Amino acid sequence: ELEEDESSMAAFREQRLQQLHGELARAKAQRNSDYGTYTEIKDEKQLMDITTSNKLCVVHFMKPDFNRCRIMDQKLAALAPKHFDTRFLSINVENAPFLVVKLKIQVLPCVLSFIDGVSTDRIIGFEGISYKPDSFTLQELEARLLYAKVLVRSKMVDEDEHRSGAVRSAKVTEEYDDDEWD
């Protein structure tokens, strides 16, 4: 039985190594193609090409001289290197008059989530990110984009959270059992 356990562990280890090598190769390929960066796009044709040819895109429609747009820019620039499955883009609304009208963008900043070329979610101003109307954290923005399904949660993070959750629940059970006998 011990030999059987060792062989299944070796098979699992080999499978996990292959999975990690595949993820690393994919991350390298995406890094070379502007994934993990926050890129300013200069014209709306290029923006439409990118959003329709990539599965997941976050697009910030902005004006550089608006303070709230600068804040959103900083947050998205910090978020981009953490998510290699999503393209993070910005475009000055003055360079995208057709899209501004077509997508009915009236308040800035405006962040649109695109999945397979279709706009699936929009953040207008800072609405829906935080309980505070004028500020938000990077984690709150990330949570909002995860909820919109335009970001992919890291598999390794999920596994770590699952393990730590199991440990926490085991501790709670032990504490509860101890209290019951007192």
**pLDDT single digits (tens) 37-87:** 899 999 999 999 999 999 999 999 999 999 999 999 999 999 999 998 899
- In this structure, are 60 and 124 located in the same domain? yes
35 CB burial (10 A radius; 0-12, 13-18, 19+): buried
What is the pLDDT, as a whole number, of residue 1?
64
Give the per-residue pLDDT at 161.
47
How many distinct structural domains can be found in the chain?
3
| Contact status, residue 152 vs residue 56, Cβ threshold 8 Å | yes
pLDDT band at 176 (very low <50, low <70, confident <90, very high): very low
Percent pLDDT > 90 in the chain is 58
* CATH number of the domain residue 112 falls in: 3.40.30.10
Q: Is the pLDDT of residue 102 over 50?
A: yes
The tokens for 179 are 């209290």
Q: Is the pTM of this model over 0.75?
A: no
Structural domain of 173: 154-182
